[in-house]
Structure 1
């Protein structure tokens, strides 16, 4: 049997109950990874894990609830990987929260704090907890970035700021771990078919007084490839950055935007 690229590797996937996180978990399982799947609430997480374990028994998928803004919870997540699978090779972080579109003057300070806590601080806390367990060389961290971390987006100041902070954190941590042979990168999508973007689309439609279909048509027109990405397409970018195929890639913010950032 052909060896799969993640055979024998243990991967922690956050945000694994839906969207990009679920797609990453499924793709990594198909490549032989042993999985620890986490989410803020149990919800559909166990159903996803059971489905993955049935399709890919070698994944030995286990689940846990993790608040990524809680240092102790992040420590416990990595400890679970070590306890159940004997180590930790890859952190694939797909937890994120969006921002209700609107003028910055109307943005509540508490909302700014919530978005920064999950999208920026959460990435820091997870990485901080993962670093002691990652192998040197060979360990990898892959964050979920965004095209908004490269250029600001109107009426999305907090979200853009959180992703901009994550981009510089990715670069800084990549330099810090480079001499030890561990790599840190991020995948930066634009519009993806996911729950987070559905919520953003519905809010935009309500605010502008148009249909969801009209919002989606406008959004697709902004993408040079003419459509939104699927979560599975984004998962392929995660897989590349988590495996030896990208062994000389670190500190990158991998553009998976359909051409949005070069338009």
Structure 2
């Protein structure tokens, strides 16, 4: 209930007024059944605007710290993320990557939409960075299609390091579903996983118009200020093998 209340009453109207969002290719998301939505990641608002414009409910994996914070702020975060149906994962253990994949597989097993950011973190400078292969392994393991999604303009509304949202035009471009059934039975092959990941990233590059950089975005985070807790978005499925 809270998911839809936030979407249509409490948050959605404000986001609509600020971003005047438009969506292209909405028909490319199947009306039913499990699908992975693989999006570029420009700002924390990506996780707000994509659910706002997609009719079906989207589930993201959220880091467990959002559910265990102290005090009133921690209690509110736990309530909020639980209310909107996000799934907590522990990123600190030795099996964190596998746990994330298992959590994603459970969401898919229930026939839901799973939102993933293949870059693993937000772009530090607006360019599109090399995708991590956890998304590919999950797609190959479950056999579901991947729908590429390009978020455009969210970084203008919600720049890294800024706590203030500013009006900016938001565009969402949704590409055609990608079927990787030709690789059936090859989950765990790191070369296949890299090929699948690169195919999705290529489509994201075409949809978003971003310049592509063949390095991981996380490798550049040492040169930019770390985001605050409020800015840090939902968890992304990490690499599970060497690339």
Bin for the TM-score computed over the shorter chain = 0.3 to 0.5
More helix by percentage: 1
Q: Which has the higher contact order (CA 8 A, sep 6+)?
A: 2
* TM-score (ref. length: structure 2): 0.40
Bigger CA radius of gyration: 1
TM-score, normalised to structure 1's length?
0.38
